[in-house]
Chain A
Amino acid sequence: MEEKILEVNDLSVSFSGGVQAVSDVSFDLRRGEAFALVGESGCGKSTTARAILRLIRSPGRITGGQVRFEGRDLLELSSKEMSQVRGREIGMIFQNPLDSLNPVYTIGGQVTEGLVVDRMEKREAWRLAADMFRDVKIPDAEKRMKSYPHEISGGMRQRVMIGMMLCRHPKLLIADEPTTALDVTIQAGIIELMNDLRRKYDTAVLMITHDFGIVADMADRVGVMYAGKLVELGDVYTIFDRPLHPYTRMLMKALPVITKKEGRLATIPGTVPDLSKPVKGCRFADRCPDACGICRGAAPALTECQPGHLCACHKEKGGGAHV
């Protein structure tokens, strides 16, 4: 087994009004691995990513759990120590690069800033950043570094963010919907780039997405979230070929992969439960076609059904009792 660099154990996050945005989420990342957290809006995937970096703002609060990164619990660090971790050891990319870049400084200045903080000489930092720009395939790297964020396109900005993050060789890169705002043609380029660079720098990637296509294109392992809970976790091929949790199976069937002549898409009836009230039993029970008494009585734990394949469903204990 490869070495684990990140272990998230029973992480819980609450917002005001007692909204349990994330409850008892546990997963781990191995060195150089790409792990995708996938789910619909409001399922807590972004909150989980932010909690790992301790970027949850008040009134949100991490109410429990551990985030062990290379042996240290990030939740125990002082805020000064934590800011050493962010950017240097764990990089992050968000959906809208324009929110992450400072509009009044040149791109080059912003990319080298982190390196200068790491006590690198300015000229050396500039040279390294230019190399990195070529790595992320930005044409005219030297010239582009003198541009301001508004002067380049959305796809280029996201490349700048990736370059900026990889400059400091983090061991883990957290990418929260990095291509959602981009066109498919640009998205394909960014994904290919992230796949190449991940191998080149041996960086683990935690990818947050709602798009199963991106999961299929990038991830080694997948965690499916629903209403603040991790409901299924496994190898990407397993999740696509043999999903166990009813939610994952229904979600897969709702993807528009057919034509209208071939039939209608499957839908998931009902809505996500209100997380401001305590939910008794399984959170998916109200929408699940197979739900029975036990599902409404007790919350199912995430248990290993097959080696490496975990599922939180009462009906799946002992490895797939029902069809």
Chain B
Amino acid sequence: MSETLLCIEHLKKYFPLKSGLKKNAAFVRAVDDVTLDIHAGETLGLVGESGSGKTTLAKMILGLMEPTEGTITLDGMDIHDRGRRKELSHCVGAVFQDPASSLNPRATVYRSLERPLELNGCSKGDARDLIYETAEKVNLGRELLERFPYELSGGQQQRVSIARAILLKPKLLVLDEPTSALDVSVQAQTLNELLDLQQKFGLTYLFITHNLSVVRYMSDRICVMYGGKVMELGEAEEIYGHYRHPYTLSLLSSVPPLHPSQRERKKVLLTGDMPSLIGELTGCRFASRCPFAQESCRTEEPPFRDLGEGHRVACSLAETLDFPNR
């Protein structure tokens, strides 16, 4: 197994709720005790419904948000160590969902790319060389550099975001829904480019998405989150072929079919809404919607167990449940 690049331990993020005069009366447990490793050179796919805590986790990894408890270490350095902020700021890059809103509309592409270099004490000449070099890496024509974001197509804008993210040669790239706003043909192009970049430069990706086909295409390992907790983690093909968690089952069976002949496939539809993450929570987060839930699931929190070969699952019934494996 390759070495660990990012190590997340017992990470928690609780958002305080203010109700009237009483401050901090209750907390939303957006991320609750997540322990996770990202290996150097891999793509870890992070999937889950809205509200599962994916983006909160990403923000903490990017150092944009302080965790309530727990630590994130990158190559042995604590991400939230204020003294080393500058050093860490170019270890992690980010690409967000909407490329248009993550680029300054009043700055040319060149200016948007130059700014981070300027802040990191790069001379104008060096910056130019690096920008041209990076633009080439992401197939961004030099003539586009003098344009403004509104003059670019969605795919080109996303390439600018990717170029900016890799300019400072980060060790880890956090990709938060990078293709959700793009059309299928542009999405394919962007995904291919990301894979090529990874192969050429040995980048490590944290790929966050709700699109399960995209995550399967991109990832080496997949992490399934629900209600602020990790439900299942393992090799991509292991998760797709031999998932052990009922939530993964319902998530995968909800994916629209690839062909009309699969229309009558058996779906495990979830009823009800995601539970509230406010206040004291007991038992398994998924118990309220789980078709297999037993009494003990509601009272005892299932441990995050290893089933062998790095396949980990947070379900106390994992061994006894018999799923139709696809």
Contact = CB atoms under 8 A, between A and B. Distances in A.
Interface stretch (A60-68, A159-167, A266-274): A266-274
A187 B185 contact: no
Contact of A265 (B50, B217, B237, B267): B217
B260 A240 contact: yes
Given A213-B256, A256-B216, A260-B217, 20 more contacts: A184-B210, A184-B212, A184-B251, A185-B49, A185-B250, A185-B254, A189-B269, A191-B256, A192-B267, A212-B184, A213-B213, A213-B257, A216-B259, A240-B259, A254-B187, A254-B188, A257-B258, A259-B216, A259-B236, A268-B188
A214 interface: yes
Contacts, number: 109
Most buried by A among B188, B189, B192, B251: B188
Tell me what chain B mostly uses at the interface: helix, strand, loop, or mixed: helix
A217 B256 contact: yes
Interface residues on B, range: 35 or more
Interface string B202-225: 000000001111101110000000
Nearest to B179: A256
B255 interface: yes
Interface of A: 40-41, 139, 153, 155, 183-189, 191-192, 210-217, 219, 236-237, 240, 250-251, 254-260, 264-268, 271
Contacts of A219: 260
Given A185-B250, A216-B259, A267-B189, A192 B269 contact: yes
B98 to A, nearest CB: 13
Contact of A217 (B183, B188, B212, B263): B263
B183 A41 contact: yes
Contacts of A236: 260
Nearest to B247: A185
A264 B192 contact: yes
Given A183-B49, A184-B251, A216 B263 contact: yes
Nearest to B47: A184
B28 interface: no
A256 B191 CA distance: 9
Contacts of A153: 273
Nearest to B261: A237
B258 A254 contact: no
Nearest to B270: A185
Contacts of A40: 183-185
Contacts of B68: none
B253 A188 contact: yes
30 contacts: A40-B183, A40-B184, A184-B212, A184-B251, A184-B255, A185-B49, A185-B270, A186-B49, A187-B254, A187-B256, A188-B254, A188-B255, A188-B267, A188-B269, A212-B184, A213-B256, A213-B257, A216-B256, A216-B259, A216-B263, A217-B257, A236-B260, A254-B185, A255-B258, A259-B216, A259-B217, A260-B195, A260-B218, A267-B192, A271-B153
